[in-house]
Amino acid sequence: MGSFLLSLTIFFPFLFGIPLLLFNREKEVIAKSYAFVISLLVLVMAVFLLLNFEPGQGIQFKHVALEAWLGEDVDVKYVVGLDGISVLLFVFSALVFAMVILGTWTSVQKNVREHLFFLLTLETCILGIFAALDLFLYYIFWEAMLIPMYFLIGMWGKANRAFAATKFFVYMLTASLIMLIGVIYIGICGADLNGGMFTTDYQKLLLLDLPFSIQAILFWFFGISFLAKAPLFPLHTWLPEVYAESPVSAVVTGVLLKMATYALMRFNVGLFPQACAYFSTLMVVLSIVSIIYGAAIASVQKEMRLVLAYSSISHLGFLTLGIFAFTEEAMQGAILQMVNHGLSTGLLFMLVGFLYERRKTDRLTDYGGLKKVMPLGAMFFTIAMLSSVGLPGLNGFVGEFLILVGAFNSPILQNGTFAVLGAIGVILSVVYMLPMFQKIFLGELTSDDNRRLSDLNLRESAVAVVFVMLIVWIGIAPNPFLKLSEKSTASMIEKVQQNSSLSVK
């Protein structure tokens, strides 16, 4: 039952999104209501899978669906499943898409049916990415995701949408082709374990004991693709344009970037532990550079979305720091922070979108004093901002605290210098977040356009309330979320630490 339901949950948005293209173009409300119901049904199924999920010992997958795909000569299968690392991200993705459809209810004015269809298609691709247990199947979902994203940016973005969409597509396609080489390479290597048959079955490849020289090559074949999508400095240049132009920035923030950090954990750490141990210091250095660079650039931006774009580069640096510190606390913190960043920055992007819909501008100088006319908006923005800067009692603090503690105690990193440098990023987050809040909401109302602004309506408030409830819940009681990944991360860390003594440092 669980295996069938998992496959149904993955493909439900795409299959039931196709009829949207047949809806009457004059009755957009019906199309929006239909798409929202579909997204809610997907969320219900995902939550059901979560409630029936029991974390197993080590890297074990639940709700596995398995089907031969390319015949008997090649071991490439349709196989999907969830473990403690992926299940939370799977459910979170379903939540984000439902909230994005509700949040963008009135902001998309043209080709509404097509916009909703591409959103639901993107949801299927992302759910498939978090559940795929065959590397070739994973690659198919990874590549398919580019198509709806290209159209969502290129057709419904702002003035420079064509450039942003093209840059995103070319950047991601190039990185993905490098990953494809790695998939083929490891499939050939896996033939030794599989009776001479080419295999991309992730669970079989976990048993593969590759020499360090091959692990090092495969680490970069996969890693370049994932680091470009993350994005880690210096592969970050596509992100500001996409954030600035995309009408679905909350999806990019909440889900799309986490696909890459999840993939680093799932494939690089899972399959190439010795190479991960060897390159850990380099990856942590790049993480620290991203944390400080992103925060510094965010502090001088003049537009709301660009502040949030560069802040995301900084926050994603924390995720890679947590992964490559290779302690259980840091890795669990990284998994939780994938959700936390999606909640806090996703809500900030939603609120910025609500402001843009009213004022048609992202420039910070066009705002000021909005607390007087938008008290609800100011309240929700305050909570999201405080979550983003890591205020104790909110979700951002829990993830960052675990990452920094784990990095400080890391036997591979050997000293706490990197944790101290990472903590500077937490301080710098206040430097760019508080001034942005002040410029938007505090001070005097100096513009008639701002005086006429309406506060958040019931629909917009409902979206914000969902995010805030999760922000507070994780901040106060994170243990239920951490328990989901506890056994999986412990097994993965043990594997890396066993291999770290073998690495040729």
3-state secondary structure 161-229: HHHHHHHHHHHHHHHHHHHHHHHHHHHHHHHHHCCCCCECEHHHHCCCCCCHHHHHHHHHHHHHHHHHH
The residue behind tokens 């998309």 is 108
Q: Where are the domains of the chain?
A: 2-500
Predicted confidence band of residue 121 (pLDDT cuts 50, 70, 90): very high
Show Cβ contacts of residue 286 under 8 Å, excluding neighbours closer than 6 positions.
227, 232, 233, 317, 320
Q: Is the pLDDT of residue 38 over 90?
A: yes
Cα–Cα distance for residue pair 50/130, rounded to 1 Å: 14
Question: The tokens of 461 are what?
Answer: 């408030």
Which string of b and e fits 71-82 if b means at least 16 CB within 10 Å?
eeeebbbbbbbb
Residue 456: which of 108, 158, 105, 116 has the closest Cα?
105
Q: Is the pLDDT of residue 504 over 80?
A: no
User: Global pTM?
Assistant: 0.88
Residue 227: which of 134, 273, 302, 289 has the closest Cα?
289
Predicted confidence band of residue 505 (pLDDT cuts 50, 70, 90): very low
Amino acid found at 396: G
Q: Is the pLDDT of residue 65 over 90?
A: no
- What's the confidence (pLDDT) of residue 248? 65
Predicted confidence band of residue 58 (pLDDT cuts 50, 70, 90): very low
Q: How far is the first Cα of the chain from the last one, in angstroms, to the nearest whole number?
A: 47
Average pLDDT over all residues of the chain: 84
Cα–Cα distance for residue pair 30/113, rounded to 1 Å: 10
Cα–Cα distance for residue pair 232/223, rounded to 1 Å: 11
- What's the confidence (pLDDT) of residue 71? 59
What's the average model confidence in pLDDT over 412-423?
A: 79
- What's the confidence (pLDDT) of residue 195? 65
- What's the confidence (pLDDT) of residue 44? 94
Residue 79 pairs with which residues in a beta bridge?
66
